[in-house]
């Protein structure tokens, strides 16, 4: 419920700012917003699960929502967003408080909208192909490859997301410390869950 509602509010926030957009553009703008948030603040906005496909990096839940292949929060989506001609989406005229988005979430979304909002889907695909989380899988992809969230903690030379290698290393160390704390809590028989991947740390 929380993941779906957060993704829906994020999509609505983007569409309110840029007008109409197709599915691929929305998927990539939201991915870049997640990446900005992760590399600057140590967590993604959406908590989505990412895959490398032959075309690009895709957030599974975001894709499902834009394909109407979901049930949780579906009424919320239909109340805020509509599908229009040529496979585009646009925001309905609604006034919502964006309760699922923090101030840093909005900062990440605003940064990405300002920096990349005028780019086409194909230009966004080209941009995201430069990052190692897709590039490392490009010759291995059969259908899709799961991308652990920690792999999205990456940067490139002259990174348009303005993420430095030094800060990313700091974020990685911080998240590793959190993981170690969780392991210690389990060993001390405290009532804390631990997961098989690092992804839960980034939600």
For residues 108-141, one letter each, b for 16 or more C-beta atoms within 10 angstroms of the residue's C-beta and e for the rest, the string is bbbbbbeebbebebeebbebbeebebbeebeeee
pLDDT digits (tens, 9 = 90+) for 24-51: 999 999 999 999 999 999 999 999 999 9
**How many other CB atoms are there within 10 angstroms of residue 158's CB atom?**
6
The model carries a pTM of 0.88
Rounded to whole angstroms, how far apart are CA atoms 161 and 172? Answer: 17
Whose CA is closest to 33, among 118, 133, 136, 114? Answer: 114
Confidence of residue 194 (pLDDT cuts 50, 70, 90): very low
| Radius of gyration of the chain measured on its C-alpha atoms | 17
Mean of per-residue pLDDT scores for the chain? 90
For the segment 68-95, what is each residue's pLDDT rounded down to a tens digit?
999 889 999 999 999 998 889 999 999 9
Q: Is the pLDDT of residue 193 over 60?
A: no
Tokens 């590039």: give the residue. 135
Q: Residue 147 forms beta bridges with which residues?
A: 50
């Amino acid at each position: 419920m929380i993941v779906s509602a957060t993704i829906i509010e994020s999509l609505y926030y983007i569409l309110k700012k840029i007008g109409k957009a197709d599915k691929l553009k929305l998927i990539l703008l939201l991915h870049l917003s997640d990446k900005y948030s992760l590399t600057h603040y140590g967590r993604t906005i959406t908590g989505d699960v990412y895959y490398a496909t032959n075309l690009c990096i895709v957030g599974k839940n975001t894709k499902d929502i834009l394909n109407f292949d979901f049930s949780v929060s579906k009424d919320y989506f239909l109340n805020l967003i509509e599908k229009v001609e040529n496979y585009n989406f646009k925001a309905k005229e609604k006034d919502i408080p964006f309760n699922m988005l923090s101030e840093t979430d909005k900062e990440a979304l605003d940064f990405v909208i300002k920096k990349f909002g005028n780019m086409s889907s194909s230009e966004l695909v080209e941009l995201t192909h430069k990052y190692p989380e897709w590039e490392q899988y490009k010759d291995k992809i059969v259908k899709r490859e799961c991308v652990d969230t920690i792999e999205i903690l990456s940067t490139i030379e002259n990174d348009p997301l303005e993420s430095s290698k030094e800060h990313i290393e700091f974020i990685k160390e911080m998240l590793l410390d959190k993981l170690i704390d969780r392991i210690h809590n389990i060993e001390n028989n405290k009532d804390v869950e631990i997961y098989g991947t690092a992804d839960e740390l980034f939600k």
